[in-house]
Amino acid sequence: MASVCLISVLTTSQTHGIEVSDKAHKLAQDNIIVDTHIDVPYRLNQKWQDVTKATEGGDFDYPRAKQGGLNAPFMSIYIPASLDNSANSTKLADKLIDYMEALVGRAPDKFAIAKSVADVKQQFSKGLISLPLGMENGSPIQEDLANLHHFYDRGIRYITLAHSQSNHISDSSYDLRRQWKGLSPFGKELIVEMNKLGVMVDISHVSDAAFYQAIEISKTPVIASHSSLREFTPGFERNMDNDMIKALGKNGGVIQINFGSTFVTKRANAWSKKRSAEQKLIEEKFGKDSAQAKNFSAAFSEKNPLPYATLNSVLDHIDHVVELIGIDHVGIGSDYDGVGDSLPTDLKDVSTYPNLIQGLLNRGYSDQDIIKILNGNLLRVWQQNEDYAAKH
């Protein structure tokens, strides 16, 4: 009883006037919540913190996850594009997975590595937080399928084919060079092998051409682990347009909505583009390592505060996917610990999933539909990938 009271008090303090009902809290606590993109591993690589306990800063720790009902966060094994074509990308991937295994070793009563849908369900029944793993940027594969098998054995269950630059697998939505005009020959081969192993193909970050090629090649449903909709951010190719979302629906896949303000509203996206353009000018004038360049971002934000998105902004993205392709193809890919201080009001950390659930209730979503968004859609896709691999 005490823990229920604690949850209620703490959540109320973060809702900015949103009244979160007992029903929303109950839905959060009684169901698996899958979030397919949380950047804890790289955060710990930058600065070690014991997330088995409450931490200062960051968006994730055990107490806040329990408070919000989060129990199946995919830990992002994020590899910066600067390490592409370098053995250091593979070393970093192994190091970040080591961190997650150390986390479980430190607190086996709180966390467990999850390598299958069955693991997630079993660990949920024991009150543990599952830690499935996804690799953000396929750079560590190093054009060698043996590395794919290595990382599968270590627990990787999705691979984001590229990140902010074109790599040996795929063109990136951020990279104008388009060296492969979609996927590389190896990238096409990789998807076939990922299907055979049961590793989900993640099309977040890739170019539009790479997306269409990936869903044409993949024999299993793909995911967008942390993407939002171009409908609300015109010209932002990192997000998905309506035709892509329809194609994803036909593929049986799921788009996991990114919470970052710059992903979900036109105003915040324009703010981000302006900051990036001015940062580039400063770097060209004074050099990337200059004091002016290093201090620019903070100074810009002080003069031009980010126009934060809101909970309703995120709900609009979910609504739009449902209107286009139905309730079976949308979920949560928050990008907590990955988008800095750009998170929307009322969704500032992993304690706030009840706010999202309350917003869905307020918009008329049924309990069954909400559970599909929280876990059902992603677990279905993951299971379909497992089932295909078992046959092949």
Helix (H, G, I), strand (E, B) or coil at 74: strand
Q: What is the pLDDT of residue 9?
A: 31
Where are any strands of DSSP class E within the chain? Answer: 34-38, 72-78, 111-113, 129-131, 133-136, 156-160, 200-202, 223-227, 254-257, 330-332
Enumerate residue ranges in the chain where pLDDT < 50.
1-15
The letter for the amino acid at 208 is D
Rounded to an integer, what distance in angstroms lies between the CA atom of residue 39 and that of residue 91?
17
pLDDT tens-digit readout, 226-257:
999 999 999 999 999 999 999 999 999 999 99
Helix (H, G, I), strand (E, B) or coil at 9: helix
Q: What is the pLDDT of residue 105?
A: 97
- CA 388 → CA 89, 158, 254, 369, distances in Å? 29, 15, 17, 26
- Cβ contacts of 75 within 8 Å, gap of 6 or more: 38, 40, 41, 100, 131, 132, 133, 134
Rounded to an integer, what distance in angstroms lies between the CA atom of residue 239 and that of residue 261?
12
Number of CB atoms found within 10 A of residue 29's CB: 18
Q: What is the pLDDT of residue 18?
A: 87
pTM of the full structure: 0.94
Q: What is the pLDDT of residue 17?
A: 62
Q: What is the pLDDT of residue 140?
A: 98
Residue 172's DSSP bridge partners are 206
Rounded to an integer, what distance in angstroms lies between the CA atom of residue 119 and that of residue 301?
43
Q: Which H or E run contains 299? A: helix 291-303
